[in-house]
Amino acid sequence: MNFPDPVREFAKYLARPAEEIRLDEAALLLARTEYPDLDLPAQLARLDGLAARAECSPGQSPKTNIARLNRLLFEEENFAGNEQEYDDPRNSYLNDVLDRKMGIPITLSLIYQEVARRCGLPVVGVGFPGHFIAKYLADSGEILLDPYHGGAILSLQDCEEKLKSQFGEEAEFRPQFLLVSSVKQTLTRMLNNLKGSYFRRKDFPKVLMMIEMALAVDPSSRQEIHDRGMIYFMLRRYGAAKADLRAYLAASPPDDPQVKEVQTMIHRIRALHN
């Protein structure tokens, strides 16, 4: 596949062994789709500089480290959730979040996690439905944190309330919602956010680029193949659309609810070619 250079660079990085893939580096490579000349070492040095000022260490109590991280990031540096322009694509690019001090839950959690990692602290990302969070893996137990709201410590009840506020009172809390998000899972979620943001702006070439990036993370993703076929159709690249949609059908179980829609789209493409 003829990827644009930033996509090819990202795909090459993601092909490394899992232990060699770093979330901060991968997120900056993602940002190169929007900022091709982005200086990665300079951006990584910004995270290094934050960690150097955090006054955190593994020898201190988790509560002390959390308080110092929160003071640095949310009081001194004034990082905050971008409530007014939540859907702005810049909220998903790490360099923009570092510049503007505004982001969405996943990118603010990413910064929190990466500053903590540089301090030797066991902070990880959590792909909670509808609102990405972080957690500190303390010896005494996991401490759930919300970097979108100033690094607030969350109880299980808080998480359940967040879930219901996002998805309705019938939403059922499950323990697996608090599992660690792997680097690839986090990147997939960031790319999905960007896909949605650009789709709502009807910027279909950028949606296509995000799909190509997501396929670099998971080349076997049926959903991304489906979505790429649909975007190809919107871009009037009918041959490519038909190939992707056929590939999606071939890999789909008979009870897939999207099968009928895809079959209808293939018929539309055939009609356009007649």
CATH of range 5-178; options 3.30.70, 3.40.50, 3.10.620, 1.10.3470: 3.10.620
**Alpha carbon 34 to chain centroid distance?**
15
For the cut 50, the answer to whether the pLDDT of residue 1 exceeds it is: no
Residues 167-193: pLDDT tens digits? 999 999 999 999 999 999 999 999 999
Question: Could you tell me the residue ranges of all domains in the chain?
Answer: 5-178, 220-273
d(CA 48, CA 98): 12
Residues 138-172: pLDDT tens digits? 999 999 999 999 999 999 999 999 999 999 999 99
For the cut 80, the answer to whether the pLDDT of residue 29 exceeds it is: yes
Residues 218-232: pLDDT tens digits? 999 999 999 999 999
pLDDT at 54: 97
What strand order describes the sheet that includes 133-138?
123-126, 133-138, 141-146, 152-154
